[in-house]
Structure 1
Amino acid sequence: MHWLCGQFTALETQRNREHGTVVHLCDGILVGSGTLVNDNPRLNVRPELLVSSDSTAVLSSAPSHPRPIILDSNLRTPPTANIVLLKNRPIIVCSFNPSSTHSSDILKRQSDLEAVGVQILNLEGVSLHDNIPRILTALKSVYNINSLMIEGGSRVISSFLTLGSNAVDLLVVTVAPMFVGINGVKANDGNSIVNLSDPTYKQFGRDMVLVSKLP
Protein backbone atom coordinates (compact mmCIF):
# COMPACT_ATOMS: atom_id res chain seq x y z
CA MET A 1 0.00 0.00 0.00
CA HIS A 2 1.25 3.48 -0.88
CA TRP A 3 0.45 6.52 1.23
CA LEU A 4 1.05 10.09 0.04
CA CYS A 5 1.50 10.96 3.70
CA GLY A 6 3.71 9.02 6.09
CA GLN A 7 2.84 5.89 8.05
CA PHE A 8 2.30 7.79 11.31
CA THR A 9 -0.15 10.18 9.65
CA ALA A 10 -1.98 7.29 8.02
CA LEU A 11 -2.35 5.78 11.49
CA GLU A 12 -3.71 9.06 12.83
CA THR A 13 -6.24 9.21 9.97
CA GLN A 14 -7.53 5.80 11.06
CA ARG A 15 -7.69 6.96 14.68
CA ASN A 16 -9.68 10.01 13.59
CA ARG A 17 -12.17 7.80 11.79
CA GLU A 18 -12.58 5.51 14.78
CA HIS A 19 -12.42 7.83 17.77
CA GLY A 20 -13.67 11.02 16.15
CA THR A 21 -10.74 13.11 17.42
CA VAL A 22 -11.41 15.56 14.58
CA VAL A 23 -15.17 16.09 14.90
CA HIS A 24 -16.09 13.67 17.67
CA LEU A 25 -17.51 10.55 16.02
CA CYS A 26 -18.48 11.40 12.45
CA ASP A 27 -21.71 10.00 11.10
CA GLY A 28 -20.39 9.98 7.55
CA ILE A 29 -17.27 10.29 5.41
CA LEU A 30 -17.63 12.00 2.03
CA VAL A 31 -15.75 11.91 -1.28
CA GLY A 32 -16.50 12.85 -4.87
CA SER A 33 -17.03 10.45 -7.74
CA GLY A 34 -13.57 11.18 -9.16
CA THR A 35 -11.87 9.96 -5.99
CA LEU A 36 -14.20 6.96 -5.88
CA VAL A 37 -13.53 5.91 -9.48
CA ASN A 38 -9.78 6.62 -9.44
CA ASP A 39 -8.85 5.35 -5.97
CA ASN A 40 -11.64 2.90 -5.09
CA PRO A 41 -11.31 3.78 -1.37
CA ARG A 42 -12.85 1.78 1.46
CA LEU A 43 -13.74 4.82 3.61
CA ASN A 44 -13.83 2.68 6.73
CA VAL A 45 -11.85 2.11 9.90
CA ARG A 46 -9.14 -0.48 9.27
CA PRO A 47 -8.13 -2.19 12.53
CA GLU A 48 -5.02 -3.74 10.96
CA LEU A 49 -3.55 -0.23 10.64
CA LEU A 50 -4.43 0.76 14.20
CA VAL A 51 -1.34 -0.68 15.87
CA SER A 52 0.99 1.38 18.05
CA SER A 53 4.77 1.43 17.75
CA ASP A 54 5.07 -1.44 20.26
CA SER A 55 2.64 -3.57 18.15
CA THR A 56 -0.20 -3.08 20.63
CA ALA A 57 -3.66 -2.83 19.09
CA VAL A 58 -5.23 0.60 19.55
CA LEU A 59 -8.82 -0.67 19.45
CA SER A 60 -10.25 -2.55 22.41
CA SER A 61 -13.54 -3.35 20.67
CA ALA A 62 -15.02 -3.60 17.19
CA PRO A 63 -14.62 -0.33 15.24
CA SER A 64 -17.49 2.01 14.50
CA HIS A 65 -17.49 2.91 10.80
CA PRO A 66 -18.62 6.29 9.45
CA ARG A 67 -21.17 5.96 6.68
CA PRO A 68 -19.67 6.35 3.16
CA ILE A 69 -21.21 9.19 1.13
CA ILE A 70 -20.38 9.83 -2.54
CA LEU A 71 -21.17 12.95 -4.58
CA ASP A 72 -21.83 11.33 -7.96
CA SER A 73 -24.11 13.34 -10.27
CA ASN A 74 -24.63 10.62 -12.89
CA LEU A 75 -24.03 7.46 -10.83
CA ARG A 76 -20.60 6.49 -12.12
CA THR A 77 -19.99 4.40 -8.99
CA PRO A 78 -19.74 0.71 -9.99
CA PRO A 79 -21.59 -1.95 -7.95
CA THR A 80 -18.19 -3.62 -7.44
CA ALA A 81 -16.68 -0.60 -5.64
CA ASN A 82 -15.14 -1.26 -2.22
CA ILE A 83 -17.66 0.99 -0.46
CA VAL A 84 -20.43 -1.23 -1.87
CA LEU A 85 -18.77 -4.57 -1.16
CA LEU A 86 -18.08 -3.63 2.49
CA LYS A 87 -21.83 -3.12 3.08
CA ASN A 88 -21.50 -0.07 5.35
CA ARG A 89 -24.80 1.37 4.04
CA PRO A 90 -23.27 3.74 1.46
CA ILE A 91 -25.20 6.77 0.26
CA ILE A 92 -24.78 8.23 -3.22
CA VAL A 93 -25.94 11.81 -3.77
CA CYS A 94 -26.77 12.31 -7.46
CA SER A 95 -28.56 14.96 -9.51
CA PHE A 96 -29.78 13.47 -12.78
CA ASN A 97 -33.11 14.20 -14.45
CA PRO A 98 -35.11 10.94 -14.81
CA SER A 99 -36.97 12.33 -17.83
CA SER A 100 -33.87 13.36 -19.78
CA THR A 101 -32.84 11.75 -23.07
CA HIS A 102 -29.97 9.77 -21.54
CA SER A 103 -31.69 8.84 -18.29
CA SER A 104 -32.35 5.18 -19.17
CA ASP A 105 -28.69 4.23 -18.69
CA ILE A 106 -28.51 6.11 -15.39
CA LEU A 107 -31.74 4.55 -14.15
CA LYS A 108 -30.29 1.11 -14.95
CA ARG A 109 -27.18 1.97 -12.92
CA GLN A 110 -29.41 3.20 -10.09
CA SER A 111 -31.31 -0.09 -10.10
CA ASP A 112 -28.05 -2.09 -10.06
CA LEU A 113 -26.69 -0.06 -7.14
CA GLU A 114 -29.87 -0.25 -5.09
CA ALA A 115 -29.95 -4.02 -5.63
CA VAL A 116 -26.65 -4.32 -3.73
CA GLY A 117 -27.67 -2.07 -0.83
CA VAL A 118 -26.70 1.44 -1.95
CA GLN A 119 -29.11 4.22 -0.97
CA ILE A 120 -29.62 6.89 -3.64
CA LEU A 121 -30.43 10.52 -2.84
CA ASN A 122 -31.32 12.30 -6.09
CA LEU A 123 -31.35 16.10 -5.91
CA GLU A 124 -32.73 16.37 -9.42
CA GLY A 125 -31.19 19.05 -11.64
CA VAL A 126 -28.88 20.45 -8.93
CA SER A 127 -25.21 21.26 -9.45
CA LEU A 128 -23.84 19.30 -6.49
CA HIS A 129 -20.63 21.26 -5.98
CA ASP A 130 -22.53 24.56 -6.02
CA ASN A 131 -25.17 23.42 -3.53
CA ILE A 132 -23.26 22.02 -0.55
CA PRO A 133 -25.67 23.52 2.05
CA ARG A 134 -28.63 21.83 0.36
CA ILE A 135 -26.77 18.52 0.34
CA LEU A 136 -25.93 18.81 4.04
CA THR A 137 -29.54 19.64 4.87
CA ALA A 138 -30.80 16.65 2.88
CA LEU A 139 -28.30 14.26 4.47
CA LYS A 140 -29.36 15.39 7.92
CA SER A 141 -33.11 15.26 7.31
CA VAL A 142 -33.19 11.99 5.35
CA TYR A 143 -30.34 9.98 6.91
CA ASN A 144 -29.65 11.75 10.23
CA ILE A 145 -26.10 12.59 9.15
CA ASN A 146 -25.08 15.35 11.57
CA SER A 147 -21.29 15.34 11.13
CA LEU A 148 -19.06 14.61 8.14
CA MET A 149 -15.39 13.96 7.53
CA ILE A 150 -14.58 15.36 4.06
CA GLU A 151 -11.91 13.12 2.54
CA GLY A 152 -11.64 14.52 -1.01
CA GLY A 153 -10.96 15.02 -3.79
CA SER A 154 -9.80 18.48 -4.72
CA ARG A 155 -13.08 19.78 -6.18
CA VAL A 156 -15.12 18.59 -3.21
CA ILE A 157 -12.67 20.09 -0.71
CA SER A 158 -12.64 23.39 -2.60
CA SER A 159 -16.45 23.46 -2.63
CA PHE A 160 -16.54 23.17 1.16
CA LEU A 161 -13.68 25.60 1.82
CA THR A 162 -15.33 28.25 -0.34
CA LEU A 163 -18.19 28.29 2.20
CA GLY A 164 -15.80 28.72 5.12
CA SER A 165 -17.20 28.24 8.61
CA ASN A 166 -20.72 27.96 7.18
CA ALA A 167 -19.80 24.41 6.15
CA VAL A 168 -16.49 23.59 7.86
CA ASP A 169 -16.07 23.28 11.63
CA LEU A 170 -12.48 22.04 11.66
CA LEU A 171 -9.74 21.87 9.04
CA VAL A 172 -7.06 19.16 9.21
CA VAL A 173 -4.19 19.54 6.71
CA THR A 174 -1.32 17.08 6.37
CA VAL A 175 1.88 18.66 5.04
CA ALA A 176 4.11 15.95 3.57
CA PRO A 177 7.73 16.62 2.49
CA MET A 178 6.97 16.69 -1.25
CA PHE A 179 5.62 18.94 -3.98
CA VAL A 180 2.29 17.90 -5.54
CA GLY A 181 2.29 20.18 -8.60
CA ILE A 182 0.06 22.76 -10.24
CA ASN A 183 -3.12 20.69 -10.04
CA GLY A 184 -3.21 20.46 -6.25
CA VAL A 185 -6.18 21.46 -4.08
CA LYS A 186 -6.96 25.16 -4.19
CA ALA A 187 -8.28 26.63 -0.97
CA ASN A 188 -10.66 29.08 -2.57
CA ASP A 189 -11.93 30.37 -5.90
CA GLY A 190 -10.48 33.67 -7.03
CA ASN A 191 -7.61 35.46 -5.31
CA SER A 192 -8.99 35.86 -1.80
CA ILE A 193 -7.11 34.53 1.20
CA VAL A 194 -8.55 31.83 3.47
CA ASN A 195 -7.77 32.83 7.04
CA LEU A 196 -7.32 30.28 9.82
CA SER A 197 -8.41 30.60 13.44
CA ASP A 198 -6.47 29.16 16.42
CA PRO A 199 -4.21 26.84 14.39
CA THR A 200 -2.24 24.09 16.10
CA TYR A 201 0.52 21.90 14.68
CA LYS A 202 1.67 18.38 15.44
CA GLN A 203 4.50 16.27 14.06
CA PHE A 204 3.78 12.71 12.88
CA GLY A 205 6.98 11.07 11.69
CA ARG A 206 8.05 13.02 8.60
CA ASP A 207 4.73 14.88 8.26
CA MET A 208 3.34 18.01 9.87
CA VAL A 209 -0.40 18.11 10.62
CA LEU A 210 -2.19 21.45 10.89
CA VAL A 211 -5.51 21.61 12.75
CA SER A 212 -7.50 24.83 12.65
CA LYS A 213 -10.93 26.39 12.69
CA LEU A 214 -12.13 28.78 10.01
CA PRO A 215 -13.30 32.25 11.10
Structure 2
Amino acid sequence: MSLPPLPTSLKPFLKPYLPSNSNDNHITLTYAQSLDSRIALKRGLQTKISHLETKTMTHYIRSKHQAILVGINTVLVDDPKLNCRYNDEDNLNLNGIRPIIIDPSNKWNYDDSQLSKICEKGEGISPFILIDESITDPKNSNKLKEQGGKYISLPLLKNRKNNWEIIIKKLNELGINSIMIEGGSTIINEILEYPKKIYDVLIITIAPIFLGKEGVEVSPNKQIEFSNVNWWTGIQDSVMCCTPKE
Protein backbone atom coordinates (compact mmCIF):
# COMPACT_ATOMS: atom_id res chain seq x y z
CA MET A 1 0.00 0.00 0.00
CA SER A 2 1.38 3.38 -1.01
CA LEU A 3 1.72 6.14 1.53
CA PRO A 4 -0.55 9.19 1.34
CA PRO A 5 1.18 12.55 0.80
CA LEU A 6 2.90 14.13 3.77
CA PRO A 7 0.88 17.13 5.03
CA THR A 8 2.80 20.23 3.95
CA SER A 9 2.71 21.73 7.45
CA LEU A 10 4.63 18.79 8.95
CA LYS A 11 7.98 19.55 7.33
CA PRO A 12 8.49 22.98 8.94
CA PHE A 13 7.02 21.67 12.20
CA LEU A 14 9.49 18.77 12.39
CA LYS A 15 12.56 20.54 11.01
CA PRO A 16 13.94 21.89 14.35
CA TYR A 17 13.78 18.39 15.85
CA LEU A 18 15.47 16.37 13.13
CA PRO A 19 19.15 16.05 12.18
CA SER A 20 20.23 18.53 9.53
CA ASN A 21 22.56 15.88 8.14
CA SER A 22 22.20 12.11 8.43
CA ASN A 23 25.78 11.90 9.78
CA ASP A 24 24.96 14.18 12.72
CA ASN A 25 25.09 12.64 16.19
CA HIS A 26 21.37 12.62 16.87
CA ILE A 27 18.98 10.18 18.55
CA THR A 28 15.23 10.52 18.12
CA LEU A 29 12.91 8.60 20.43
CA THR A 30 9.49 8.27 18.81
CA TYR A 31 6.33 6.19 19.12
CA ALA A 32 2.54 6.30 18.79
CA GLN A 33 0.30 5.99 21.83
CA SER A 34 -3.31 6.16 22.98
CA LEU A 35 -4.76 8.83 25.26
CA ASP A 36 -4.01 6.57 28.23
CA SER A 37 -0.34 6.17 27.27
CA ARG A 38 -0.67 2.65 25.83
CA ILE A 39 1.04 1.45 22.68
CA ALA A 40 -0.84 -1.87 22.30
CA LEU A 41 -4.10 -3.45 23.53
CA LYS A 42 -2.21 -6.34 25.16
CA ARG A 43 1.37 -7.55 25.33
CA GLY A 44 2.10 -9.62 22.25
CA LEU A 45 -0.81 -8.15 20.26
CA GLN A 46 -0.12 -5.94 17.23
CA THR A 47 -2.25 -2.81 17.51
CA LYS A 48 -2.66 -0.10 14.89
CA ILE A 49 -3.03 3.28 16.56
CA SER A 50 -2.00 6.13 14.28
CA HIS A 51 -3.66 7.60 11.19
CA LEU A 52 -2.21 7.06 7.72
CA GLU A 53 -0.93 10.64 7.52
CA THR A 54 1.17 10.17 10.67
CA LYS A 55 2.38 6.85 9.26
CA THR A 56 3.73 8.87 6.33
CA MET A 57 5.30 11.17 8.92
CA THR A 58 7.07 8.18 10.48
CA HIS A 59 8.62 7.26 7.13
CA TYR A 60 9.58 10.91 6.58
CA ILE A 61 11.39 10.91 9.95
CA ARG A 62 13.10 7.66 8.99
CA SER A 63 14.42 9.36 5.83
CA LYS A 64 16.41 11.72 8.07
CA HIS A 65 18.25 9.00 9.99
CA GLN A 66 20.87 6.36 9.24
CA ALA A 67 19.30 3.66 11.40
CA ILE A 68 16.06 2.57 13.05
CA LEU A 69 16.31 0.66 16.33
CA VAL A 70 13.72 -1.69 17.85
CA GLY A 71 13.71 -4.48 20.41
CA ILE A 72 13.17 -8.18 19.87
CA ASN A 73 9.58 -8.17 21.19
CA THR A 74 8.53 -5.62 18.57
CA VAL A 75 10.06 -7.78 15.85
CA LEU A 76 8.47 -11.02 17.08
CA VAL A 77 4.99 -9.47 17.47
CA ASP A 78 4.80 -7.13 14.48
CA ASP A 79 7.23 -8.69 11.95
CA PRO A 80 7.91 -5.14 10.66
CA LYS A 81 9.58 -4.31 7.37
CA LEU A 82 11.68 -1.58 9.01
CA ASN A 83 12.38 0.19 5.74
CA CYS A 84 11.87 3.75 4.52
CA ARG A 85 9.21 4.34 1.88
CA TYR A 86 9.44 8.11 1.86
CA ASN A 87 11.57 9.58 -0.90
CA ASP A 88 11.77 13.17 -2.11
CA GLU A 89 14.31 15.93 -2.48
CA ASP A 90 14.54 16.28 1.32
CA ASN A 91 15.63 12.69 1.89
CA LEU A 92 18.98 12.85 3.69
CA ASN A 93 19.63 9.14 3.40
CA LEU A 94 19.05 8.00 -0.16
CA ASN A 95 20.61 4.60 0.57
CA GLY A 96 17.77 3.72 2.94
CA ILE A 97 17.72 3.07 6.66
CA ARG A 98 19.62 0.35 8.53
CA PRO A 99 17.50 -1.66 10.99
CA ILE A 100 19.13 -2.33 14.37
CA ILE A 101 17.54 -5.17 16.35
CA ILE A 102 18.24 -5.67 20.07
CA ASP A 103 18.06 -9.47 20.43
CA PRO A 104 20.32 -10.48 23.35
CA SER A 105 19.16 -14.13 23.49
CA ASN A 106 19.08 -14.60 19.69
CA LYS A 107 15.35 -15.44 19.51
CA TRP A 108 14.65 -14.08 16.02
CA ASN A 109 14.45 -16.32 12.96
CA TYR A 110 15.58 -13.77 10.39
CA ASP A 111 15.08 -16.09 7.39
CA ASP A 112 11.30 -16.11 7.85
CA SER A 113 10.87 -12.38 8.41
CA GLN A 114 9.27 -9.79 6.14
CA LEU A 115 12.51 -7.83 6.36
CA SER A 116 14.50 -10.74 4.92
CA LYS A 117 12.05 -11.05 2.04
CA ILE A 118 12.05 -7.37 1.10
CA CYS A 119 15.86 -7.30 1.30
CA GLU A 120 15.91 -10.06 -1.31
CA LYS A 121 13.89 -7.73 -3.56
CA GLY A 122 16.16 -4.75 -2.89
CA GLU A 123 13.41 -2.90 -1.00
CA GLY A 124 15.19 -2.69 2.34
CA ILE A 125 18.54 -2.96 4.10
CA SER A 126 19.56 -6.05 6.02
CA PRO A 127 19.80 -5.46 9.79
CA PHE A 128 22.53 -5.36 12.35
CA ILE A 129 21.36 -7.71 15.11
CA LEU A 130 22.81 -7.08 18.56
CA ILE A 131 23.20 -10.30 20.53
CA ASP A 132 24.84 -11.16 23.81
CA GLU A 133 28.50 -12.13 23.63
CA SER A 134 27.62 -15.57 25.08
CA ILE A 135 25.87 -16.57 21.82
CA THR A 136 28.50 -18.52 19.87
CA ASP A 137 26.39 -19.84 16.97
CA PRO A 138 23.72 -17.28 15.99
CA LYS A 139 20.77 -18.28 13.82
CA ASN A 140 20.69 -17.58 10.07
CA SER A 141 24.10 -15.92 10.04
CA ASN A 142 24.84 -16.95 6.45
CA LYS A 143 21.73 -15.38 4.89
CA LEU A 144 22.10 -12.26 7.00
CA LYS A 145 25.71 -11.88 5.85
CA GLU A 146 24.79 -12.48 2.20
CA GLN A 147 22.30 -9.61 2.37
CA GLY A 148 24.81 -7.22 3.94
CA GLY A 149 23.73 -7.47 7.58
CA LYS A 150 25.55 -8.98 10.52
CA TYR A 151 25.42 -10.06 14.13
CA ILE A 152 27.17 -7.84 16.64
CA SER A 153 28.19 -9.38 19.97
CA LEU A 154 28.05 -7.15 23.04
CA PRO A 155 27.87 -7.76 26.82
CA LEU A 156 24.13 -7.14 26.93
CA LEU A 157 23.06 -9.51 29.71
CA LYS A 158 25.75 -8.92 32.34
CA ASN A 159 24.95 -5.36 33.35
CA ARG A 160 21.81 -3.93 31.78
CA LYS A 161 22.36 -0.60 33.54
CA ASN A 162 25.15 0.21 31.09
CA ASN A 163 23.59 -1.33 27.99
CA TRP A 164 22.61 1.86 26.22
CA GLU A 165 25.99 3.51 26.49
CA ILE A 166 27.60 0.32 25.16
CA ILE A 167 25.10 0.07 22.31
CA ILE A 168 25.34 3.71 21.21
CA LYS A 169 29.14 3.67 21.40
CA LYS A 170 29.33 0.55 19.23
CA LEU A 171 26.94 1.95 16.62
CA ASN A 172 28.96 5.17 16.48
CA GLU A 173 32.11 3.10 15.89
CA LEU A 174 30.31 1.48 12.94
CA GLY A 175 29.59 4.93 11.49
CA ILE A 176 25.96 5.05 12.58
CA ASN A 177 25.38 8.42 14.21
CA SER A 178 21.73 9.36 13.61
CA ILE A 179 19.37 6.79 15.12
CA MET A 180 15.60 6.66 15.30
CA ILE A 181 14.39 4.53 18.23
CA GLU A 182 10.82 3.28 17.79
CA GLY A 183 10.21 0.77 20.59
CA GLY A 184 8.77 -1.29 22.05
CA SER A 185 7.65 -0.35 25.52
CA THR A 186 10.59 -1.89 27.39
CA ILE A 187 13.11 0.02 25.32
CA ILE A 188 11.14 3.28 25.45
CA ASN A 189 10.77 3.15 29.23
CA GLU A 190 14.42 2.17 29.70
CA ILE A 191 15.62 5.12 27.66
CA LEU A 192 13.27 7.57 29.38
CA GLU A 193 14.49 6.38 32.79
CA TYR A 194 18.17 6.08 31.90
CA PRO A 195 20.44 8.01 34.32
CA LYS A 196 22.20 9.76 31.44
CA LYS A 197 20.44 11.54 28.58
CA ILE A 198 20.57 9.08 25.69
CA TYR A 199 18.16 10.79 23.28
CA ASP A 200 18.06 14.31 21.84
CA VAL A 201 14.42 14.58 20.81
CA LEU A 202 11.11 12.97 21.77
CA ILE A 203 8.33 12.75 19.16
CA ILE A 204 5.03 11.24 20.29
CA THR A 205 1.99 10.64 18.10
CA ILE A 206 -1.19 10.64 20.19
CA ALA A 207 -4.33 9.03 18.79
CA PRO A 208 -7.86 9.78 20.08
CA ILE A 209 -8.45 6.35 21.63
CA PHE A 210 -8.25 4.67 25.01
CA LEU A 211 -6.75 1.16 25.02
CA GLY A 212 -7.57 0.29 28.61
CA LYS A 213 -5.86 -1.09 31.67
CA GLU A 214 -4.66 -4.27 29.96
CA GLY A 215 -2.81 -2.22 27.39
CA VAL A 216 0.99 -2.04 27.15
CA GLU A 217 1.95 1.16 28.94
CA VAL A 218 4.73 3.65 28.37
CA SER A 219 5.21 5.41 31.68
CA PRO A 220 8.63 5.98 33.30
CA ASN A 221 9.07 5.48 37.03
CA LYS A 222 10.30 9.01 37.60
CA GLN A 223 9.41 12.58 36.77
CA ILE A 224 10.85 13.85 33.49
CA GLU A 225 10.54 17.42 32.27
CA PHE A 226 10.79 18.69 28.71
CA SER A 227 11.41 21.96 26.91
CA ASN A 228 11.02 23.27 23.34
CA VAL A 229 7.54 21.74 23.24
CA ASN A 230 5.42 22.10 20.10
CA TRP A 231 2.20 20.47 18.90
CA TRP A 232 0.80 19.62 15.47
CA THR A 233 -2.74 18.32 14.84
CA GLY A 234 -3.88 16.46 11.75
CA ILE A 235 -7.03 14.69 10.57
CA GLN A 236 -7.03 12.41 13.61
CA ASP A 237 -3.76 12.46 15.53
CA SER A 238 -1.80 15.06 17.43
CA VAL A 239 2.00 15.05 17.43
CA MET A 240 4.16 16.43 20.23
CA CYS A 241 7.83 17.27 19.70
CA CYS A 242 10.11 18.26 22.56
CA THR A 243 13.60 17.96 24.01
CA PRO A 244 14.50 16.63 27.46
CA LYS A 245 15.60 19.18 30.02
CA GLU A 246 19.21 18.88 31.11
Tell me which interval the TM-score lies in, with the shorter structure as reference length.
0.7 to 0.9
Equivalent in 105, 123, 126 of residue 157 of structure 2: 126
Question: Which structure dedicates a bigger proportion of its chain to strand?
Answer: 2
Q: Which residue of 1 is the match for residue 181 of structure 2?
A: 150
Q: Distance in 1 between matches of 2:49 and 2:159?
A: 27
Q: Distance in 2 between matches of 1:125 and 1:11?
A: 33
Alignment of 1:43-82 (within 5 A): 43-47=82-86, 59=88, 63-78=94-109, 79-82=111-114
Give the 3-state SS of the residue equivalent to 1:86 in structure 2. helix
Counterpart of 2:205, as a letter, is T
Give the 3-state SS of the residue equivalent to 1:107 in structure 2. coil
- Root-mean-square deviation (CA, aligned residues, Å) is 2.6
Deviations 1:70-123 (A, max 9, x none): 00012222122122333303100111414xxxx6xx535545644554311111
Q: Which residue of 1 is the match for residue 115 of structure 2?
A: 83
TM-score normalised over the length of structure 2:
0.68
Q: In the superposition, relative to structure 1, how do residues 147 and 85 fare at CA in structure 2: closer, same or farther (>3 Å)?
A: same
User: Greater relative contact order: 1 or 2 (C-alpha under 8 angstroms, separation 6 or more)?
Assistant: 2
> What percentage of residue pairs aligned between the two structures are identical?
26
Q: In the superposition, relative to structure 1, how do residues 27 and 159 fare at CA in structure 2: closer, same or farther (>3 Å)?
A: same
Q: Distance in 1 between matches of 2:159 and 2:57?
A: 30
Equivalent in 190, 199, 202 of residue 232 of structure 2: 202
8 Å Cα contact 1:96/1:125 also seen in 2:
yes
Q: Distance in 2 between matches of 1:127 and 1:201?
A: 40
Question: Which structure dedicates a bigger proportion of its chain to helix?
Answer: 1
8 Å Cα contact 1:139/1:145 also seen in 2:
yes
Within the alignment, does 1:185 sit opposite 2:217 as a pair?
Answer: yes
8 Å Cα contact 1:155/1:185 also seen in 2:
no
Q: Distance in 2 between matches of 1:30 and 1:129?
A: 17
Q: How many residues align?
A: 190
TM-score normalised over the length of structure 1:
0.77
User: Could you tell me how far 1:140 is from its partner in structure 2?
Assistant: 0.9
Q: Distance in 2 between matches of 1:214 and 1:84?
A: 35
Deviations 1:104-163 (A, max 9, x none): xx535545644554311111453585311110001111x211011011100011111112
Q: In the superposition, relative to structure 1, how do residues 170 and 121 fare at CA in structure 2: closer, same or farther (>3 Å)?
A: same
Q: Distance in 2 between matches of 1:35 and 1:172?
A: 18
Q: Which residue of 2 is the match for residue 40 of structure 1?
A: 79
Listed as ranges, the gaps of 5+ residues in structure 1 are 21-25, 48-57
